[in-house]
């Protein structure tokens, strides 16, 4: 945060970012200072992402772990559609039952978990 605040002060008057570092809760105060400016917030996220990647690369070299081993996503098994996996089952009732199960799970999730869900934009545009 200090490195970023120092680069931002050269770019523009970002004294709130510098002041945030001396607060009782610097992370929260820094985040609040970022919240008021979208372009600074985007630069912070880009800066943080680069720092994380740099640290991960350094760690991989220090520990002799090939970069491909840490950057490749885990293989995700894609389940077969219900109609293909179980051709004898009624797809309409299965779909309804599955929807009910998903909705019941969604009702129990806390807000911070709901916000992490990825939902294609097309579903929000259908009316």
Q: What is the pLDDT of residues 80-103, one digit of tens each?
A: 554 454 455 556 777 788 888 888
Task: With beta carbons less than 8 A apart as the criterion, state whether 82 and 92 touch.
Answer: no
Structure confidence by residue, pLDDT tens digits, 33-56: 888 777 888 888 888 888 888 888
* Structure-model confidence comparison of residues 1 and 75, the more confident one: 1
pTM for the whole structure: 0.48
pLDDT class for 8, splitting at 50, 70, 90?
Answer: confident
Q: What is the chain's mean pLDDT, rounded?
A: 74
């Amino acid at each position: 945060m200090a490195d970023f605040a120092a680069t931002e002060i050269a770019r523009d008057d970002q004294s709130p970012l510098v002041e945030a570092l001396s607060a009782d809760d610097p992370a929260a105060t820094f985040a609040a200072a970022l919240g008021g400016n979208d372009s600074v917030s985007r630069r912070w996220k880009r800066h943080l992402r680069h720092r994380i990647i740099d640290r991960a690369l350094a760690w991989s070299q220090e520990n002799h772990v090939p970069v491909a081993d840490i950057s490749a996503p885990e293989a995700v098994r894609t389940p077969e559609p219900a109609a293909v996996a179980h051709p004898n089952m009624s797809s309409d009732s299965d779909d309804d039952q599955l929807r009910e199960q998903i909705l019941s799970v969604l009702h129990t999730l806390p807000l911070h978990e709901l916000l992490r869900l990825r939902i294609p934009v097309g579903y929000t545009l259908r009316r």
